[in-house]
Amino acid sequence: MNLTGTAGFTLTQKRALAVATVAALGFGAYFLRTYLLLIAVAAVLAYLFSPLYHRLRARMNTGLSATVTLLAAVATVVIPLSGVIVLAVLQIRQMVTSIGHWAEQTDFTALAQRLLDSANEVLARLPFVNVTLTQDSVREAATRVGQGAGQVALDFARDSVGSIAATVTALVIFLYVFLAMLTNGGAVADLFRDLNPLGREVSDIYLAKIGAMVSATVKGQFIIAVCQGVAGAVSIYVAGLHDGFFMFLIFLTALSFIPLGSGIVTIPLGIGLAVFGNVAGGVFIVVFHVLVTTSIDNLLRPFLVPKSAHLHPALMLLAVFAGLRMFGFWGIVLGPVLMIVIVTTISVYLAVDKGAPLDSLTSDPTDDEKKPPWWQRLLPVRALRSGGS
């Protein structure tokens, strides 16, 4: 039977086949639900490293090109992560050394008695509370806490055996999916175009916007977040808080991935320093964040984030937090991707049904004005005039 054409199918059969296809796709998603996040992450990384693969493919065979690309992807993730871990360990070691010096100079018996007296004074002021702490009661409470912590540690150790097996399994699956997406990315994109009932043109719009959002979130937002994290950590160090520089760097970089940014930490920290006596340092942190840290985003975003990946800040904020809640850390990338799909769908509907511009929901109103390329905006005004005459 020749199935290349549709002349042999009635309208009812075509509708039944469409329903069966949708049901098969839905069951497939349900069947693979445990690994959907893993597949999505592999697809994102395969898309990001596909230019390197195609460049190598022009000089090598498929297997060698995929292997080199895989090693490059692993190195791109492992090397920075190892550096962060080393810096964090060094910072923690420094803090432990400082705590050790403090412990050598502190009389813990007197300190414990002062803390106990202070706690009893606070409890005495609370209404309807008739509790007096003693050394024996504190010791018993500490014993119970220690026993509970030990039980938690035992449970964690018992569950870790299964976690190791699950991690190895997930790693193997990730490698296979990554290599499959890398070597057959074009076929996957063609399959999406063929299955999309809206047509190949609309499919290309979806693929372009998803690709732009992935690049913007992973490449652009990562660079912006690192720069803002470094700037915030440097400002805190200059203000006088020399301990925990790398910890602040890691923490502020992670916060810079979300639209609220590192200001939710640096601004209250600066205000707290000013209130508790370090007025100059506190004011410096706040002013530095407002004038420098926020300007990093305004300066780099036009160069690193394409216009097609633009989302309103409110939508981006909702997408990031909803993605974090649903997917964990990877929600920073997958949340905006899902939001751009939703917004693109609404935009396509308005374009088809209402005749609205296709980018009316995804572009900033201020972008309607014609602007010169970014490299021309860096040239002096005289050079622009002479080049246009």
H helix intervals, the chain = 11-31, 36-57, 62-104, 108-125, 135-183, 185-195, 200-215, 221-238, 245-255, 263-275, 279-288, 294-304, 313-327, 331-353, 374-377, 381-388
Check: CB of residue 256 under 8 Å from CB of residue 224.
yes
User: How much is the pLDDT for 27?
Assistant: 92
Return d(Cα 132, Cα 130) in angstroms, integer: 7
DSSP, collapsed to helix, strand or coil, labels residue 344 as helix
Check: CB of residue 216 under 8 Å from CB of residue 306.
yes
Distance from CA of residue 133 to its chain's centroid? 45
User: How much is the pLDDT for 381?
Assistant: 42
Return d(Cα 270, Cα 228) in angstroms, integer: 16
User: How much is the pLDDT for 184?
Assistant: 86
CA angle 162/75/339 to nearest 5° reads 75
Per-position pLDDT tens, the chain of length 389:
555 555 567 888 888 888 898 899 889 888 988 888 888 888 888 888 888 888 888 888 888 888 888 888 888 877 877 777 777 777 677 766 766 666 666 665 666 677 777 777 777 777 766 777 777 777 777 777 777 766 766 665 555 555 677 778 888 888 888 888 888 888 888 888 888 887 888 888 888 888 888 877 777 777 888 888 888 888 888 888 777 777 788 778 877 777 667 788 888 888 888 887 788 888 888 888 888 888 887 787 777 766 666 777 778 778 878 888 888 777 877 888 888 888 888 887 777 776 666 554 444 444 444 444 444 444 444 444 444 44
Query: Rounded to 5 degrees, what are φ and ψ at 330?
Result: -65, -10
User: How much is the pLDDT for 2?
Assistant: 53
User: How much is the pLDDT for 22?
Assistant: 87
Return d(Cα 169, Cα 160) in angstroms, integer: 14
* DSSP 8-state secondary structure symbol assigned to residue 15: H
Hunting for tokens 């990384």 — which residue is that?
Answer: 45
- Give the list of residues 6+ apart from residue 193 with CB closer than 8 angstroms, or none: 200, 203, 204, 207
User: How much is the pLDDT for 59?
Assistant: 86
Return d(Cα 236, Cα 341) in angstroms, integer: 39
